Structure 1
């Protein structure tokens, strides 16, 4: 029987059994890597997030990756991608179109987004892009609100997949145009809100980012870079077809590090009445913790 009997009891000519594991002559086993601990999401914040490592092709950390959120301005990546991929390969971008795409991507210009949204067929943009890229959780705004591009439904998993498409599958001129503009993201959006929360506050450069915010007043609580005053984000009427309508959302997304090694997407929503400062602080704190937990 295995493991029983003394050496002298073995019949002559039989081979000695290999030493048991744990003896000095046994081959050492590789120490398994400790499982990464997911950081705690701050109280008063609901988040869906993914950190993806491109060299290894693996998800490093994730949580609620397929939870639905309303997109706010993150959808502008999809608007730009749909428009650019519909163009003939190698064709120059007209000056008037560039004048819409660049501010939309860099400083989240809403008027530019609306013009391109209408030009692309509104809800059809999302239907086409979701089908082409295979984004199961990405849905167009309700048919009753076709002009509301910010009511598009997205998930963290789908936005990571979108960045992967841009980085690894899109034509070079499409990739370079989108990421080149996201690398030049300005601190102040054209609506006056400071869009340097999350990744740009928690992660050192290089990065290329697209942020999203929605559910607050038309004007920021203070001008970008101004006083410490805080404003309440008022609730809006709910519609079941739009995720978290009536609650403020803040999203931080982008590619990080030399060679665009990592993709990070954090989508978040907050209770009605949460101040802009409080939600920005929670998202940035969580981004910092997630970056530390996902470090190579």
Structure 2
């Protein structure tokens, strides 16, 4: 297996794009005056290693926080990692835990199936609200922490705001590891089927960024996440890539409000391209 060290210096033209995702679970963008288009320089230095795996370094401007990880399920080792223990608001990544908790309880049946599909594939917040409440809200997080061995994932302080759950890139890797190696085949296959990230989310947001824009169709199974503005844009792209879902790829970020969602999404697409470059099949 040959792994390529990469260095990114991405000049991203950004337009200020604000949208409301005001539900119980996710943050709502505060009204703001549109700003002129600008350019944001986002140099990302990612160093990959051949076994044994070693941490990577990621150099970013002070106003952008980024954590990344690529984990090879075939070799059971990190390909690269950077700031994997830095906590972020999970936003819609919480939906993964909701779906998997239902699966472990044998509840991915009947009317729940289309709800879980909408929650994952279109990131439907209203459906997530319903399932979060009916399945025990913060108890979902507590059960997942115990069953998946999560190290730094904590429930939201306000039980009604599931998106405020905090987690790390390392724990997101553990979530996907659990899905692929310990979850029973039936519910696992249902969750994988629903990790399709349809181009347009239920709230109208363009979900085609990060992994989905960097990896050919048919070679990714992802959960995207985004919200604003408490106090910045949280934009994450996570999932499985490659034949046989070989790699777990995680990129989590907190980015300035001024860049808008469009600018943050472009940054994450560039990051994802560098993370998957040179991965063995």
Give TM-score scaled by structure 2 length: 0.77
Aligned to 1:122: 137
Aligned to 1:185: 197
Aligned to 2:220: 207
Quote how far apart the aligned CAs of 1:276 are. 1.5
Q: Out of 149, 155, 166, which is 1:134 matched to?
A: 149
Aligned to 2:164: 151
Q: How many residues align?
A: 230
The RMSD of aligned alpha carbons is: 2.1
* Unmatched segments (≥5 aa) in structure 1: 1-31, 216-234, 236-244
Bigger proportion of residues as strand? 2
TM-superposition CA deviations, 1:100-132 (whole Å, max 9, x none): 111001110011100000011111110111111
TM-superposition CA deviations, 1:163-199 (whole Å, max 9, x none): 11111110001110000111x3200000000011100
Aligned to 1:111: 126
Alignment partners' CA distance in 1, 2:118 and 2:193: 12
Structure 1 consecutive aligned stretches of length 4 or more whose deviation exceeds 6 Å = 32-37
Q: Is the 8 A contact 1:39 1:290 kept in 2?
A: no
Aligned to 1:93: 109
Alignment partners' CA distance in 2, 1:50 and 1:35: 11
Aligned to 2:67: 48
Give TM-score scaled by structure 1 length: 0.73
TM-superposition CA deviations, 1:197-227 (whole Å, max 9, x none): 1001112231101000011xxxxxxxxxxxx
Q: Is the 8 A contact 1:54 1:261 kept in 2?
A: yes
Counterparts in 2 of 1:282 and 1:295: CA distance versus 1, 3 Å: farther
SS at match of 2:68: strand
The structure with the larger Rg is 1
Aligned to 2:266: 281
SS at match of 1:275: helix
